Amino acid sequence: MTTNATIAVLPGDGIGPEITAEARAVLELVAQHAGHSFSFSEHLIGGAAIDATGQPLPADTLAACRDAHAVLLGAVGGPKWDDPNAAIRPEQGLLGIRRELGLFANLRPVKAQPLFADSSPLKPERIAGVDMLIVRELTGGIYFGQPRGRERDSDGTGEERGFNTMVYSESEVRRIARLAFDAARKRRKLVTSVDKANVLDTSRLWRSVVSEVAGDYPDVTLEHQLVDSCAMRLITAANSFDVIVTGNMFGDILSDEASVITGSLGMLPSASLGVPSGDDALPRGLYEPIHGSAPDIAGRGIANPLATILSAAMLLRHSLGLAKEAAAVESAVDAALASGARTSDMLSTAESGSGQASQALSTHEMGALVCKELQQQL
Catalytic residue, from 51, 60, 201, 256: name it: 256
Instruction: Please report whether residue 94 would count as binding ligand IPM according to CB under 6 A.
Output: yes
User: In the bound complex, which residue of the shown chain has the CB atom lying closest to ligand IPM?
Assistant: 91
Q: How far is the CB of 59 from ligand IPM (least distance, A)?
A: 20
Residue 220's SS3 state is coil
Catalytic residue, from 143, 168, 217, 287: name it: 143
Choice from 118, 252, 257, 334 touching Mg ion (CB under 5 A): 252
Instruction: Please report whether residue 257 would count as binding ligand IPM according to CB under 6 A.
Output: no
Please state, in angstroms and rounded to a whole number, the distance separating the CA atoms of residues 100 and 10. Answer: 15
Sign of CA dihedral 355, 124, 328, 284: negative
Q: CA-CA distances (angstroms) from residue 246 to 121, 210, 232, 276?
A: 24, 10, 16, 20
Q: Which residues contact 3 (CB under 8 A, 6 or more apart)?
A: 36, 37, 38, 320, 321, 322
Is 95:62 a contact under the CB 8 Å cutoff? no
| Number of residues binding to Mg ion, judged by CB under 5 A | 1
**Partner interacting with residue 253 (select from Mg ion, ligand IPM, none; CB below 5-8 Å by kind):** none
| Number of residues binding to ligand IPM, judged by CB under 6 A | 4
Please state, in angstroms and rounded to a whole number, the distance separating the CA atoms of residues 68 and 283. Answer: 11
Choice from 42, 252, 257, 334 touching ligand IPM (CB under 6 A): 252
Q: How far is the CB of 270 from ligand IPM (least distance, A)?
A: 8
**Partner interacting with residue 94 (select from ligand IPM, Mg ion, none; CB below 5-8 Å by kind):** ligand IPM
Build a one-symbol-per-residue string for 197-236: x at contacts with ligand IPM by CB under 6 A, - elsewhere. Answer: ----------------------------------------
Instruction: Please report whether residue 91 would count as binding ligand IPM according to CB under 6 A.
Output: yes
- By beta-carbon proximity to Mg ion, the closer residue of 74 and 367 is 74
Which residue, 321, 288, 257, is CA-closest to 107? 288
Question: Bridge-partner residues for 70, per DSSP?
Answer: 7, 285
Catalytic residue, from 118, 131, 252, 334: name it: 252
Please state, in angstroms and rounded to a whole number, the distance separating the CA atoms of residues 23 and 26. Answer: 5
Catalytic residues: 143, 196, 228, 252, 256
